[in-house]
Amino acid sequence: MAEFFHRKIERNTIGFALAIVLVASIGGFVEIAPLFTIHETVEDAPDMRVYTPLELAGRDIYIREGCYACHSQMIRTLRDEVERYGPYSLAVESKYDHPMLWGSKRTGPDLARVGDKYSDTWHVAHLINPRDVVPQSVMPKYGWLMRNELRTDDLSEKLNAQRTVGVPYTQDMIDNAVKDAYGQANPDGDGASGVTQRYGDKTQVRVFDGDPTRLTEMDALVAYLQILGRLTETAYKQAAQAPAGE
C-alpha cells in the first residue's frame, strides 16, 4: 500500500510539489513561531553589559584556537550540572554573542560560569601548561599566547561590526577601543578610568597576564574567561531566590 501511494504521488508532479511545500511550511512554522513570543522567553537583565574590546579580542582568540570544540558554554537545568557548574544558563546571557558558543562537546568542563572561579595566575599557568595545575588534563599547551602581542589596530572595526548585528556599542566605545584594551590590562595607566566609565564600575581592570609592560593575547583570553557568566548577575540572583530543592 505504501509503495503504491509513493509511486502515485511521484507521478503527480504538481501534487508532489505541493506536498513538499506543505511539509516545508510546517517545519518553517515550528522554527519561526517561537520568535513571536521571544520577549516572554528571554529574561530581563538591566545590569547586562557588552564585552569590552579586550574581552571581545579574547573571545576571538578562544574561537581561533578551537576552544569551543572541547568546552561548552551551556549549563542545562539538570541537577547534576547545576551542582557541578553553577546556575543554569539563561537566554539573555548570550544576547551579545555572535556567534553563539553554547556547544555540545565536553572533553573539558563547561565554561559558562568559569568567570572569577579561578585567579588570573591560575588561568595563565593553566594555559601555558595545563598539566601544571590539572595533572590529568588532556588540553594542549597555549604558551605562545604569553609571547604574542595582541593585535589592536582592528578593534574599532570589530566593535563596529558587532554594532551592525545589534550589540549596543556607542560611538564613544568604538572610537576608544584601542585605548580601552590597553587601559583594562593596566590599572595604573592613563586609560584605566575610561574603561570603567564606558563599561561600568564592575569591569575587571587589572594585569591579567602578570606583565603590565605588554598587552598580550594571554591578557585578552584571560580577560574573556574571567567574564564568562558575569556579564549579568541575573542567573545568580534567580538561583538565590529559588525555593530550596529546586
User: What pTM did the predictor assign?
Assistant: 0.85
Name, in order, each residue with C-beta under 8 angstroms of 132's C-beta and a sequence gap of 6 or more: 125, 126
Asked if the model's pLDDT at residue 196 lies above 90, the reply is yes
Asked if the model's pLDDT at residue 19 lies above 90, the reply is no
pLDDT, average across residues 213-236: 96
> pLDDT tens across 26-45, in order?
988 888 877 777 676 778 88
Closest C-alpha to 203, from 178, 221, 230, 225: 230
Asked if the model's pLDDT at residue 100 lies above 80, the reply is yes
Band of the pLDDT at 211, cuts 50, 70, 90?
very high
Report how far residue 50's alpha carbon sits from residue 59's, in angstroms, rounded to the nearest whole number: 12
> pLDDT tens across 150-195, in order?
999 999 999 999 999 999 999 999 999 999 999 999 999 999 999 9
pLDDT computed for residue 2 by the predictor: 62
**CA gyration radius, the chain:** 23
Asked if the model's pLDDT at residue 145 lies above 70, the reply is yes
Cβ(184)–Cβ(52) under 8 Å? yes
